[in-house]
Amino acid sequence: MKKFIIKRLLELIPVLFIITFVVFVLVYHAGDPVSLMLPEDASQEDREYMRESLGLNDPFIVQYANFVMDITRGNFGTSTRYDMDALPLVIERLPATFELAGAAMLVALAISIPLGIWSANRRNSYVDLFITGGSVLGKAMPNFWLGIMLILLLAVNYQAFPVSGRGTFMHLVLPAITLGTSVAAEMTRLVRSSMLDTLGQDYIRTASSKGVPYVKVVVYHAFRNTLIPVITITTLQLSILVSGAIITESVFQWPGLGMLLVQAVNARDMAVVQASVFIIAILVILINLITDLIYFIIDPRIKHS
């Protein structure tokens, strides 16, 4: 296991290197934050002062070399928008995003696992049709649409939840549902098909032939086997989670990484864009690693082989 982790971590190095290059190339060409920082009225000289003071006039190679050197020191440059170090700006936002993503994941699990299991066990019934239909619908429905609707209905009309912002548990509910739904939609389908697969396995028949009650067959015998493919694909769902978070955070004014990123892109605040993309990439990689480790816990076949 230790070997495995070390191997995976070593593989990271070239990956991270590729990421820095791609990100840098993009950012280098991404245009000029200066005009966005000054009003429409600013003259060319005004812009030139600003550009010089930001060190944006160096050639490509110099800038890239500086970039990589700086990154190894944890320095992603200074946010042109906030005039602060980019990395701390990004890191400060992580708790908010973790909170939202975690809650959304819980919502997604809470919705998708029972529904997926239920519809698998009632295959081709109306329940199944309804749940599968619902999950496709959830997948087909744009995220922000749901968010705005939830605000209109539950926050504005019924005033059951705060409209936006972060703070109490109540603030978390609507964004978590919004983001959770889009993940749940895909996951329900997944749990269902994985469950169907498992229910068709011989050992499920064995369990039934032993006289194990059906509910226990599903929960004790089938569920954990169902979970293994679900976990694999759930990590692939991360990108849905991230893109969903970007949009959900904007709708609910949730001060997380997604919102920072959107605003940084709009303001051409490239240091922040670089840092966020980099941090997100590392997080995705780490989560993949953690998933692999979860296999060790959940699937004895891996551990012993």
Residues 139-168 that bind other proteins (CB under 8 A): 139-145, 148-149, 151-152, 155-156, 159, 162-168
- Segment 37 to 56, residues that bind other proteins, using CB under 8 A: 37-47, 49-50, 52-53
Region binding other proteins by CB under 8 A among candidate stretches 56-64, 67-75, 111-119, 221-229: 221-229
Phi-psi region of 161 (alpha: psi -120 to 50; beta: other; left: phi over 0): beta
Of residues 70 and 123, the one with the C-beta less far from other proteins: 123
Q: Which of 102, 114, 130, 219 forms a contact with other proteins (CB under 8 A)?
A: 102
Closest approach of other proteins to the CB of residue 112, in Å: 15
Is the CB of residue 232 less than 8 Å from the CB of residue 291? Answer: yes
Number of H helices, E strands in the chain: 15, 0
Under rule CB under 8 A, residue 224 binds other proteins: yes
Closer residue to other proteins in complex, CB, 70/294? 294
174-193: contacts with other proteins (CB under 8 A): none
State the amino acid at position 176 in one-letter form.
A
Q: How far apart are alpha carbons 295 and 99 in whole angstroms?
A: 24
Name which of residues 235 to 264 contact other proteins (CB under 8 A). Answer: 238-239, 242-243, 246-247, 250-253, 255, 259-263
Stretch of 61-69, 70-78, 112-120, 219-227 contacting other proteins, by CB under 8 A: 219-227
Report, in Å, the least distance between residue 73 CB and other proteins.
18
Q: What is the DSSP letter of 213?
A: -
Could you say whether residue 209 binds other proteins (CB under 8 A)?
yes
By the rule CB under 8 A, 92 interacts with other proteins: yes
The region, left, alpha or beta by phi > 0 then psi within -120 to 50, assigned to residue 59 is beta
Phi–psi pair at 165, nearest 5 degrees: 90, 180
CB nearer other proteins, residue 10 or residue 61 = 10
User: In this structure, are residues 55 and 245 in contact, taking their beta carbons and an 8 Å threshold?
Assistant: no
d(C-alpha 145, C-alpha 254), whole Å: 16
CA gap 8, 163 in Å, rounded: 43
Q: How many residues does the chain have?
A: 305
**221 vs 208: CA distance, rounded Å:** 10
Tokens for 47? 């812009």
Which among 34-42, 57-65, 66-74, 111-119 is the span making contact with other proteins, rule CB under 8 A?
Answer: 34-42
Work out whether 1 is an interface residue with other proteins (CB under 8 A).
no
Is 111 an interacting residue with respect to other proteins (CB under 8 A)? no
Does 10 sit near other proteins (CB under 8 A)? no
Work out whether 115 is an interface residue with other proteins (CB under 8 A): no
Q: Are 161 and 173 in contact (CB under 8 A)?
A: yes
7 near other proteins (CB under 8 A) = no
- Least distance to other proteins, CB of residue 16, Å: 8
